[in-house]
Amino acid sequence: MKQHILPKQFKEMDEDAAIHLFDLVPREDWYKYHHKKVTIGKMIEVLERKEPGNLVRILLSYEDHIQHSAQYNLCDRLWEYVKNLR
């Protein structure tokens, strides 16, 4: 199972939002350097901080989704929610 997002996934998010959301140090190559810090655990922490109570709904929707598609990864599912947080 994939444990962190890929650089191209991280680039989907605005640099300032990413730095603020994940408490990162600004760098020119921020998405290449910091993508390994955006793990499943870190995304869960961010979701709990930004949207308390929504984590259960997200995990239940993931559980429902994997019953229909074994190819979908928890890391990717969490990223779909986190990348749209502000």
Q: Does 1 fall in a domain?
A: no
- Return the SS3 of 4: strand
Q: Write out pLDDT tens, residues 31-46.
A: 999 999 999 899 989 9
When divided into structural domains, the chain yields a total of 1
pLDDT at position 63: 65
- Reported as type and span, the H/E element at residue 57 is helix 54-66
- Segments forming the whole domain that contains residue 35: 7-82
Minimal CA–CA distance to 19: which of 6, 35, 3?
35
- Banded pLDDT at 65 (limits 50, 70, 90): low
Share of the chain above pLDDT 70, in %: 86
Q: Does 2 fall in a domain?
A: no
